[in-house]
Amino acid sequence: MGKIYQVVVDGLRGEKMMIDLCNTDEQFKTMTVLQLKEKIVEKLPGTAGEEALRLIFADKMLDGNDQLLTHFGIQHMSVIRTGMRLPGGMIA
C-alpha cells in the first residue's frame, strides 16, 4: 500500500479535519473538485450538500466541479478553506 494522499480542510465552524483522498499518485492526479466536495460532505454532517459547498485554496475559488485538483496546484497536505453558497440575488 502506498502513501495516503490527504488535504487539511478548515471547516465551516473553524474545525480542522484531515480528508483522505486516495492511495496512489495516479489516483491523485485524476481527483476532481467534485470528488473532494463529496468527501468533505461525508465528514461534515448537516451541510447542505456539495452543490452549496464552496472551496478556497490559496485565495482562489475552486470553480468547476470537473476541474482536477492538480490544476489548482493542490498537493498532499494542502490546506483548503470551506464556505457555503447563500441564497440571494444581485442588485442590477
The whole model's pTM is what? 0.85
- The reply to whether 91 falls in a domain is no
Could you give the number of structural domains in the chain?
1
Tell me the residue range of the domain where 58 lies.
5-84
- pLDDT at position 6, please? 96
What averages of pLDDT result for each successive group of 10 residues across the chain (92 residues)?
A: 87 88 94 94 74 91 94 96 74 53
- pLDDT at position 43, please? 83
CA distance 66 to 10: 22
- The reply to whether 43 falls in a domain is yes
CA distance 65 to 35: 8
- pLDDT at position 46, please? 65
